[in-house]
A and B are shown apart, each in its own frame.
Chain A
Amino acid sequence: MLFDTHTDAMAALTLFRQAGIQARVSPTPHGTNLRPGCGVALLLDPADMQRAQETVKTNGACVAGIVCLPSRINPRRDQFC
């Protein structure tokens, strides 16, 4: 889930936590077609996405876009910045 400001991202995180939806703060992945205004994204499980979208709508939270990406997390990759 992408955002135009980091305050939007953290506000959405608070809403998700209150709703019991797991979300993690992450740098906005590169390679998406969307160009949000900030580098903070939230990672959510696709299974939670419908509930997350309902939470966003109900609370009027600001979201710049949603992209579906495969998980690329690999702690044994050993490639650093």
Chain B
Amino acid sequence: MADRRQLWEDLGMDLESHDQLCAVLPIAFGDVFLSQENRPEGMAFYDMVVSDIHGIRPSELVEAQKEGQKVFGTFCVYVPDEVVIAADGIVTGLCGGSQFWVPAGEEVLPKSMCPLIKASVGARLGKTCPFFRIADIYIGETTCDGKKKAWEILGEDVPMYVMEMPQMKRPEDIERWKKEISALAQKVEETTGNKITPEALNEAIHIINEKRKALLRVYEARKAKNLPISGMDALLVMQIAFFDDPVRCAHMANELADELEQRIKDGVSVFPEGTKRILVTGTPMAIPNWKLHHIIETSGGAVVCEESCTGTRYIENLVDEDATALDDQYEALARRYMGVNCACFTPNPGRIDDIVRLAKEYDVDGVIDVHLKFCTLYDTEAYSVQNALKEAGIPCLEIETDYTDGDAEQLRTRIEAFIEVLE
């Protein structure tokens, strides 16, 4: 790419290695997305974003930086975007979803660490992702041991701020998270040079709520008997939501939802009648991790919902917009974010309840509980998930995988067998 190369060079990227990543994208994208039939027209926007994923949005961010805005890189759905936006900052998700970045991560991290963390560290240290180069500061959190140690290593290379995540959900824990949000606000003010006012925070809360509502409309459409959109496409929408401008994200998701709702009225489905409906639960699928969804949807299944950080955890529940003082707004934010049910909490019955509820709401035939290799939290919680699903009479398949292609055939065999036996 002619002018993109200048952008990447200016960001100090390793262009030779980056070219190798760019060479793989068109093939994988073609196999996963362009092989689908009858996709919604609204997906063209998302296809465009992915097609030039290291060009379009990075260029916008660099231009914004020239105008004085600061870019905050985040790795978790507990970090409140609202606080950054209230100070005229920009949030970009930084989780790595490609095996390409893993070897560079393994140069400084143990191999026995989850691929998401290894890829995230590798993307920064390997200098092969513009988003990791652009961010002025990274906001980490203590949601797992691997991340905590990774922040220390990343902190040697880039400004790093870490929020301490409570591990329980007692009232005092919600109060602690409120204090963490307030402390983050101070850091954001210091970084941007802008004061966070109640008015600005209220506007930011509204912006992110509107984004959630728009994405939830896309999810609602997936409850229809005739599925107007594939799980692959819905996942792509969610993955892009993490780094797109939030107002544009809401606008494009609403346009897509309009089309999906019309498709439901017209009885348009992207899957043949009788395709088994699958809920995927577990660890997040950061872009460009399309592996499991693609295998499921080319093995006789349709993914109708994701109970994950790249799914319902990101968009369910809104922040109360009625508060007018900063202290009350921080509390409203703490209450909403502490309502997210991640396996990092103990006990964590909320997630189990969510899975069973979503399985019913989306009328699923089966659940696939997936966790990335070496993610002890989700691996261990699989025990409770499976017991609850068994009690509810919902078939469940547990899968452990990573970003490599090596287990694809084995996964396909297991998933095809699972789908075959679903009633």
In the complex the two chains form, is A28's CB within 8 Å of B51's CB?
yes
In the complex the two chains form, is A38's CB within 8 Å of B30's CB?
no
- Most chain B CB neighbours (cut-off 10 Å) among A9, A30, A39, A43: A39
Per the bound structure, the CA–CA distance linking A72 and B25 in Å amounts to 13
Chain B residues, CB < 8 A from A57: none
Chain A residues, CB < 8 A from B48: 6, 9-10, 25, 40
Question: In the complex, what residue of chain B is closest to A13 when comparing beta carbons?
Answer: B44
- Most chain B CB neighbours (cut-off 10 Å) among A26, A72, A76, A78: A78
Chain A residues, CB < 8 A from B289: 80-81
Question: In the complex, what residue of chain A is closest to B47 when comparing beta carbons?
Answer: A25
Chain A residues, CB < 8 A from B28: 79-81
Contacts A6-B52, A37-B1, A39-B52 given; indicate if A78 touches B27 (C-beta within 8 A): no
Question: In the complex, what residue of chain B is closest to A30 when comparing beta carbons?
Answer: B23
Residues 17-59 of chain B, each 1 if its beta carbon lies under 8 Å from chain A, else 0: 0000111111111111011000001001101101111111000
Is A74 an interface residue when CB atoms closer than 8 A count as contact?
yes
Is B339 an interface residue when CB atoms closer than 8 A count as contact?
no
Which of B201-209, B345-353, B365-373, B404-412 lies at the interface with chain A? B404-412
Chain A residues, CB < 8 A from B24: 79, 81
* Interface of chain A residues 6 through 50 with chain B (CB within 8 A): 6, 9-10, 13, 17, 24-30, 35-41, 43
Chain A residues, CB < 8 A from B55: 6, 38-39
Question: In the complex, what residue of chain B is closest to A73 when comparing beta carbons?
Answer: B30
CB distance from A9 to the nearest CB of B (A): 7
Is A75 an interface residue when CB atoms closer than 8 A count as contact?
yes
Per the bound structure, the CA–CA distance linking A80 and B98 in Å amounts to 8
Known pairs A9-B48, A38-B56, A75-B294 / 18 extra A-B pairs, C-beta < 8 Å:
A13-B44, A27-B52, A29-B26, A30-B22, A36-B2, A37-B2, A38-B1, A39-B51, A39-B54, A40-B51, A79-B24, A79-B27, A79-B31, A80-B99, A80-B290, A81-B21, A81-B25, A81-B99
Query: Please, how many residues of chain A have a CB less than 8 angstroms from a CB on the other chain?
Result: 31
Per the bound structure, the CA–CA distance linking A30 and B21 in Å amounts to 11
Contacts A76-B298, A78-B295, A81-B21 given; indicate if A27 touches B50 (C-beta within 8 A): yes
In the complex the two chains form, is B23's CB within 8 Å of A27's CB?
no
Chain B residues, CB < 8 A from A9: 48
Contacts A13-B44, A76-B298, A80-B99 given; indicate if A38 touches B4 (C-beta within 8 A): yes
Give me 23 A-to-B residue pairs in the complex whose CB atoms sit less than 8 angstroms apart, sorted by A's number: A6-B52, A24-B47, A26-B30, A27-B51, A37-B2, A37-B4, A38-B52, A39-B22, A39-B53, A40-B52, A72-B27, A72-B30, A73-B30, A73-B31, A79-B28, A80-B99, A80-B288, A80-B289, A80-B290, A80-B405, A81-B28, A81-B97, A81-B99
Per the bound structure, the CA–CA distance linking A5 and B27 in Å amounts to 21
CB distance from B22 to the nearest CB of A (A): 7
In the complex the two chains form, is A80's CB within 8 Å of B403's CB?
yes
In the complex the two chains form, is B26's CB within 8 Å of A28's CB?
yes
Q: Which 10 A-B pairs have the closest CB atoms?
A: A39-B52, A78-B408, A25-B47, A75-B35, A27-B26, A81-B288, A27-B51, A40-B51, A73-B30, A30-B23
In the complex the two chains form, is A26's CB within 8 Å of B405's CB?
no
